[in-house]
Amino acid sequence: MPWFHFHQNNSGGRYRDDHARGIGRNVWVEGRDADDANRRAEGIGLYFDGCDTGQDCSCCGDRWSRAYQFRDEPQGDDLGEMAEGYYAPSEGKPVFLHPVAGDFITLTHDMPHGRDDVLRLVEERTYARDEAFVREWIAKHGVPEPSALPVLAGRS
């Protein structure tokens, strides 16, 4: 599933971080598409159109911008590219990753956060989440028949 990047604008000359909720200057949200990621971002506590609602400074601009997806562009943003670029974690400025299921992941400057490290961390979290789902499903429904495996894999 693709990831979408939300970068906080320092509207009004200050940032609004809430590390306990996984909100900082750079937030990555996993979603089916840009619309899904935007809905999930709002559920986390990000907001859009802050100038229109009076939450943000009109001369500085909105604090958060929606993720957009154009038909001719690849879906989502390159999570691995984040690890090596301008939006990588730095001292006191963690990066937050919000997968579709499970708790958010906090990347700090003192953790390995190269491209492969970030992708491996997300993959490990995803595997653990999927393994827990399968264990719960088996506990509830018993060992699946082979005909049920496509349904289980699709989480229907």
Q: How far is CA 2 from CA 96, 106, 115, 130, 155, in A?
A: 15, 18, 16, 17, 18
Residue 27 contacts residue 21 (beta carbons within 8 Å): no
Give the pLDDT band (50/70/90) at residue 3: confident
Is the Cα dihedral 93, 98, 102, 107 positive or negative? negative
* pLDDT tens-digit readout, 42-80: 999 999 999 999 999 999 999 999 988 765 555 666 666
What would the mean pLDDT of 9-38 be, rounded to a whole number?
92
What would the mean pLDDT of 7-20 be, rounded to a whole number?
92
By CB atoms closer than 10 A (0-12, 13-18, 19+), residue 155 is exposed
Whether the pLDDT of residue 150 is over 60: the answer is: no
Give the pLDDT band (50/70/90) at residue 81: low
pLDDT at residue 60 in the model? 93
The mean of the pLDDT values for the chain is 79
Q: How far is CA 96 from CA 57, 64, 79, 148, in A?
A: 24, 15, 11, 35
